[in-house]
Structure 1
């Protein structure tokens, strides 16, 4: 099972979630050889609840995932923490909704939740919790308290960072860092645009239908990570097209505002 642990469903935080856009994303994920993804949209994105309201209205939910044209979409979110860093929380839809509700008072930069507090909240749910892009200059998880980082389940080898920092350098840094904490490393594209699917992903040894199965596979290291040879081209093209699409949406929003 080819799985992407870090994906987004919007071009950016300020845009609405669109079932049509996400269906396009899912179609291209499948065409890129991806069978399953974690939808880790930013927890403080515009109208976060509408992401799962929309999925509930348009796609069937089976076991622990949404079935979108046979793509398994596991619910999740990417949470900013006070110490500066991003944590991927992946679970069933009830738990993701419940944890997000507990974070209502922590959505602004000056009020982001401390990692320890987030981990305490996570303990109430059966979730897979992953440290995102630990070597990213703007959100360096690597500098945080090791005793807290050891409570995470894994770290991600991130598509965007593999592009900006270099494949060999970033891979070595993340693998060495995770090994020092006795944690596995999974692959996540960090895509906001479908062109980035397949840049880096996780090849699970077995099919997973529930969060419990997914978590067991990660913790027991029943997988390997695949980095595409054309990762730089995939990511750079996704960045280029994302900028064009965002500009189109901004113009359309302005036109609709003035026409009304």
Structure 2
């Protein structure tokens, strides 16, 4: 990655070697998708160049920093409008992309964990694997859709500046339910220090999430927990245990809300909605 100066302003350039491989496919996909993204939510792609086995993408430089997701951070209010645009304007992107539902069906995280259970799997999950597998199957149906979703939202892929927030790195964009990006952000907020209630309260400001049924919320929470749990089993990474803990906390919170008949869990959210929606 490099910041380049050229006529007309600065350019953020990212390049990958072995452009003929899988990473090249991903970044060509990002280049294709970019021209369909509203400029209010993503930096514009100015050029792309392939030289020998290198692929270079040059984006407009957007001043900003990675988003702060901690409780009380002012960045949280700036992210909500961007998610609103995602949910409202990305239903008609003609660029083909894999379906999230098909990917989740192939991954079948909880089903795999039930079949080949790690000895260190969370005790609650071990005792409730049948329930988790069933909810995962529902999530695969509920995540279906033709809406463009980012699928990899976290603080490093959200740039915040004086004029608001932008979303970068669309190489993993897929087609699915428009509520999915908010669902992926909720455990990120929990990992940043929010209680599940507070994270969901924040999410209520996003229309695509506010209109999402409680059963779908629960299924998404359980599916995301399973995906990260399986990925950690197959390829351990330093940041993943904290994410798994956060995803587990959200999933158990959703399950508890279902059991007590308080599935929407939106009590106390109105001040945030009035201020930021």
TM-score bracket for the superposition, by shorter chain length: under 0.3
**If the length of structure 1 is used for normalisation, what is the TM-score?**
0.26
Q: Which has the larger radius of gyration?
A: 2
**If the length of structure 2 is used for normalisation, what is the TM-score?**
0.25
Higher strand share: 1
